[in-house]
Structure 1
Amino acid sequence: MEALKTIILLVNIFSALAVIVLVLLQHGKGADAGAAFGSGSAQGVFGAAGSANFLSRGTALAATIFFATCLAMGWFSTHQKSGLNFDQAQPAVQQTAPAQTAPAVPKPAAASQVLPE
């Protein structure tokens, strides 16, 4: 079971990196045509859907894999059997600090005692 979790984690990391790289490699929808026609939107020229190329399909596939592995890791984390059994746990014995006693206060010297010089 731990090997499966490790594989899912590795696939998740690689798919996240793939999404990052593929998104950074792509141009915006209106990057080229917007500069040529002076506006920021080129959807009227190429149509609303645009063309799906390798980068956009690869991004969609990597995002789907990333989403699926995130769901799998969430499922594993909520359905794992913990090593702790709280039904049989015994309460911890709390130790109390020893009672603090006040320090001994010296008694004042009696008037009849002579102090050495």
Structure 2
Amino acid sequence: MDALILLVHMAVSVILVGLILIQHGKGADAGAAALGGGSASLFGSRGSASFLSRSSAVLATVFFITSLTLAYFAGAGDRPDRSITESVTIEETAPADLPEFP
């Protein structure tokens, strides 16, 4: 089960990086508008989200869900019966003889 979730997690992360890299940046239209080309307004009209941005949002959601699931499975392993602070034993030792300073 862990291996399957880890495989999905790795595949989603690689695809998500690829989708983000091929998306058109918001600032790219501003540069074209400043030089006289591109859209009529400075930032252009922003319509509904494109297929790439919606699929990025879905993949980001899947990435977070798989991250939380992997963290849950990692913490649900064998747990000790007692706290680690209870398992430490403290030994009383006599102080070492220190040389006397003049």
TM-score (norm 2): 0.65
Larger radius of gyration: 1
Paired residue for 2:45?
Answer: 46
Q: Which runs of 5+ in 2 are unaligned?
A: 36-40, 83-102
Q: Secondary structure at the match of 1:72?
A: helix
5 Å matches for 1:59-98? 59-81=56-78
What RMSD, in angstroms, separates the aligned Cα atoms of the two structures? 2.4
Q: Secondary structure at the match of 2:32?
A: helix
Q: Secondary structure at the match of 1:52?
A: coil
Paired residue for 1:30?
Answer: 27
TM-score (norm 1): 0.57
Residues 12 and 59, structure 2, Cα contact 8 Å, conserved in 1? yes
AA matched with 1:24:
L
1:16 & 1:36 partners in 2: Cα distance? Answer: 32
Residues 42 and 26 of structure 1: is their aligned pair in 2 closer, same or farther, counting only changes over 3 Å? farther
Which of the two has greater helix per residue? 2
Residues matched between the structures, number = 78
Using the aligned pairs only, state the percent identity: 38
1:12 & 1:42 partners in 2: Cα distance? Answer: 39
Q: Which runs of 5+ in 1 are unaligned?
A: 88-117
Residues 78 and 35 of structure 1: is their aligned pair in 2 closer, same or farther, counting only changes over 3 Å? same
